[in-house]
Amino acid sequence: MTIYWERCDFCGLYKPTLRCAMFPELSVDFICCVSCPLRISKCKSPAWKSSIDQGLLTPRTRVVSSEERKRVFEELMKALGGKSETS
């Protein structure tokens, strides 16, 4: 799926837009799509539906194991190791 950086026809802001499923001649951004009153009642396939379903636009909450956290921390300490004395 390609996201184009265009102007949203609904709010007028320059944002990544997709073609509106209800009004094919209009471009809609993510915010306007999810807040569209027609989305639930009439819109069968909202333009941003697949993106929303895939969680592309929501903050990723990834569970990091304690081992991984420890490893990352050690790598960070290693990377900072040589520089910490100068600061």
Closest CA to 11 of 20, 21, 53, 3: 20
> Residues binding Zn ion: what is the number (CB under 5 A)?
5
Nearer to Zn ion, 12 or 55 (CB): 12
> Cα–Cα distance between 10 and 43 in angstroms, integer?
16
CB of 69 to Zn ion, least distance (A): 38
> Cα–Cα distance between 38 and 70 in angstroms, integer?
47
Q: Which of 7, 11, 56, 71 forms a contact with Zn ion (CB under 5 A)?
A: 11
Q: What are phi and psi of 15, to 5 degrees?
A: -145, 170
> Cα–Cα distance between 83 and 75 in angstroms, integer?
14
CB of 66 to Zn ion, least distance (A): 42
Q: Which of 8, 18, 36, 47 forms a contact with Zn ion (CB under 5 A)?
A: 8
Q: Which of residues 13-52 bind Zn ion (CB under 5 A)?
A: 29, 32
Q: Summarize as ranges the residues that interact with Zn ion (CB under 5 A).
A: 8, 10-11, 29, 32
